[in-house]
Amino acid sequence: MLNTVRLAFIGALMVLPQTTFAADKAADACVDIAVPKDAVMARHGNWMELTPEQWQFLRGVYVLDPQTPPGLPYGDKAVLAQIDGRPGGLVLFIDGDKACTPMLIPDELLSVMHDVATGRINHQGTGS
């Protein structure tokens, strides 16, 4: 539990400047990618770059999440950070060598992200 709290705290520290300062200072919300990556690896976690399809999907989730700032997240790719034995994860949107705009995600969303990565389409019902 403590590791999840620490990871969430790192994410909160990264989001705080974005929600506090004016738009012209929004770039301050990004940190060197080594900071969160080293924190995850020090806790024997997993750092996985997401597919372009997962990145696009999560951009939409980010926009609709009431806990994230308005607008699209920074960057042109994303990573998933997870700590072994802990539910959910943290998605970080990557802009060059910077980790930006973190978003906590639950286990249920991880399953959907896997479907997006594999191109799996799940139709409910038989249709007419």
**Confidence label for 77 from pLDDT (cuts 50, 70 and 90):** very high
Radius of gyration of the chain (CA): 15
**Token couple for 18:** 């974005």
Q: Which H or E element spans position 72?
A: none
Per residue in 102-126, pLDDT (tens digit) is 999 999 999 899 889 888 877 675 5
**Could you give the strand order of the β-sheet that contains 31-32, starting from the edge strand earlier in sequence?**
31-32, 98-105, 89-95, 77-83, 45-49
Query: Can you give the pLDDT at residue 10?
Result: 52
Q: Dihedrals φ, ψ of 110, to 5°? A: -60, -40
Give the integer Cα–Cα distance in Å for 47 and 17. 24
Q: Please say whether the dihedral angle defined by the alpha carbons of residues 109, 112, 114 and 116, taken in this order, is positive or negative.
A: negative
Which are the contacts of 112, defined by CB distance < 8 A and separation ≥ 6?
57
User: Mean pLDDT over residues 63-80, rounded?
Assistant: 92
- pLDDT tens column, 20-67: 333 444 445 799 999 999 999 999 999 999 999 999 999 999 999 998
